[in-house]
Amino acid sequence: MTLSVVIMAAGKGTRMRSARPKVLHALGGTPLLGHVLATAEALAPARCVIVTGHGAAAVEAAFGGERRAFVRQEPQLGTGHAVQQAAPALPDEGVTLVLNGDVPLIAEPTLRALVEACGERRLALLTVRLADPFGYGRIVRGTEAGDADAQASVEAIVEEKDATPLQRQIDEVYTGIMAAPTRLLKDWLGRLGNDNAQGEYYLTDVVALAVADGVEVATAAARDETEVLGVNSPAQLADLERRLQRRRADALMEAGVRLADPARFDLRGTLSVGMDVEIDVGCVFEGRVTLGDGARIGPHCVIRDAAIAAGAVIHPFTHVEGARVGAGALVGPFARLRPGAELGEEVHIGNFVEVKNATLARGAKANHLAYLGDAEVGERVNYGAGSITANYDGANKHRTVIGADVHVGSNCVLIAPVTIGAGATIGGGSTINRDAPAGELTVARARQVTIPGWVRPKKART
C-alpha cells in the first residue's frame, strides 16, 4: 500500500499572540510540527506534503527534507481548502493520512490503527471519548447494528451549534485526523462547497459526501485525549508541556530513576540513564544527555548535550553544556561547564568555577572562583581561588598546559600560550607569561611597598 501524509500547518495561530508561526512554537524542546513529522515519518510514507501559509518561509526553512513537499495555502479558506492545495502533489493510489501540525502528541500506533481502519476502501476518522465533549463535533452513527454502538458506521459529524439535545449527550468526538483512499479523497475535495457563514471549505464535509456515495465511514479510537489535544494559545501549550513532561518523568521512574518531584522536571531532548540515578527538583535536560550509574543531579541544574559518568555529583544551580564529566567527579554548586570541558575521574570543580574547552585529568581540583579555558590540566593539580587562564589576545585563542601535581596559588593569571611544568608551584598573586619549570616555585608579582604619610582623599563637604 502506498501511504501519503498531508500535514496542515498554515494557520496563523492568532491566539498565540506571537510573530512566530504557531507550528514553530516548542513543546518539550521540539517545534510542534517537528513532533508531528517525526511520528508521521515513522510510518514510512512515500510522500509527506506540508501545507504552509502564515510564516511559510520560516516553516519551510526549518523542515525541508528529501521526502517532504511543501504547498502554500494563500489565502487560508478552511481545512478542506488546505487539503485541496495538497491534492495535486498526491499519487492517485493508496491511502492519504491527514494530520494537524498543531496536534503534536499523536502516537504512531494510533495512526497505524487509523490507516488499517481505512483499508484502502473506507473513510476512517480518528475519534476520542471525552467526559466533557462541549464544543466538539459529535460522531453520529447509524443503527445497522441495532443501536448506535461503536461498531455502527458513521453517518455524520454534527457540530455543537447544530446538535440536538440528544446528540449533545454523545461523548465520542472527531479529532480532526482522518485517513481516506487517495482517489476518493481527491474526488470529495473537488466537490466541497463553501456555502456557510464563514465562506470556507471544511474537510469534515467529506463525511457527508462519503455517505452519499455509499462509502463506509469507519473510526479508530485515540488512547486518550492528551494525544489529540491541539495548541491554540500559550495556556494550551503550557498545559500540553506539563502533560508531556509527566509522561517523560513517569517513563524515567519506571526505568528506576529517583525523581524528587516529577512535577518539577523538564526533558527537552533525550535522556539515557543508568541504575540508581537521582534527580532533584527543577532540573532541565536538553539535547542528548547521558547519566551513568549512581549519578546524582542536585536541584535547579541545566544540563545540555553532556555525558555524566557513574557516581558523579552535580551540585545545585550548575550549568553543563557540551561537556563530559568523569566517574566520581564533583561539580558545583554554581559552576559552569561550557562546550569542550572534559573532566576526568574524581575531578573537583567548585562554586563559581567556569571551564571551557579544557581537559582536567584525574583528581585535579579547582574549588573556588576560577576560570580554565583552552587548557590541559594534569593529574592532581590544585588550581587556586581567583586564578584564571588568559587565553584570548583579542584575535586568537591560545592554550595553557599545566603538568601533573602543579599547585597554582590564589589570584594568579596564566597568560597563554604558557606551560607550567609538572610539580611546579605558582606563588599566589602571580602573573605568569613565560613557561614555569617543573618542580620549582615561580613567583611573578610586584614587591610590596608601604608609602609613609599617604592620606586617602576625602570628599568635599557641601
pTM listed for this prediction: 0.90
Cβ–Cβ < 8 Å for 191, 184: no
Among 139, 88, 131, 111, residue whose Cα is nearest residue 37: 111
pLDDT of res. 143: 59
Which grid cell sits at 377? 590540566
At 150 the pLDDT is: 55
Rounded to 5°, the CA angle 346-347-352 comes to 140
Strand partners of residue 279: 259, 297
**Residue 31: predicted pLDDT:** 97
Determine the Cα–Cα distance for residues 51 and 4; give it in Å rounded to an integer.
13
pLDDT, residue 145, reads: 36
What pLDDT, on the 0 to 100 scale, is given for residue 151? 64
Catalytic residue among 300, 315, 368, 407: 368
Active site annotation includes 368: yes
Q: How many helices (H) and strands (E) does the chain have?
A: 7, 36
pLDDT tens digits in sequence order for the chain, 462 residues long: 899 999 999 998 899 999 999 999 999 999 999 999 999 999 999 999 999 999 999 999 999 877 899 999 999 999 999 999 999 999 999 999 999 999 999 999 999 999 999 999 999 999 999 999 988 889 999 754 334 455 678 988 988 888 899 999 999 999 999 999 999 999 999 999 998 878 899 999 999 999 999 999 999 999 999 999 999 999 999 999 999 999 999 999 999 999 999 999 999 999 999 999 999 999 999 999 999 999 999 999 999 999 999 999 999 999 999 999 999 999 999 999 999 999 999 999 999 999 999 999 999 999 999 999 999 999 999 999 999 999 999 999 999 999 999 999 999 999 999 999 999 999 999 999 999 999 999 999 988 899 999 999 888 887
Report the C-alpha gap between 109 and 223 in whole angstroms: 9
- The pLDDT, as a whole number, for residue 144 is 43
Q: How far lies 1's CA from each of 89, 181, 217, 218, 244, in Å? A: 17, 10, 19, 19, 32
Cβ(49)–Cβ(18) below 8 Å: no
Contact 377, 360 (CB under 8 A): yes
Q: How far apart are CA 404 and CA 164, in angstroms?
A: 83
Residues in CB range of 420: below 8 A, 6 or more apart: 400, 401, 402, 403, 406, 408, 414, 426, 432, 435, 436
CA–CA distance, 138 with 154 (Å, rounded to integer) = 10
393 φ/ψ sector (left φ>0, alpha ψ -120 to 50, else beta): alpha
Which pLDDT score, from 0 to 100, does residue 149 have?
A: 54
**Which pLDDT score, from 0 to 100, does residue 173 have?**
95
* pLDDT value of residue 26: 97
Measuring CA to CA, which residue among 21, 18, 106 is closest to residue 72? 21
Taken in order of first residue, the domains within the chain and their CATH numbers are: 3-228 (3.90.550.10), 258-442 (2.160.10.10)
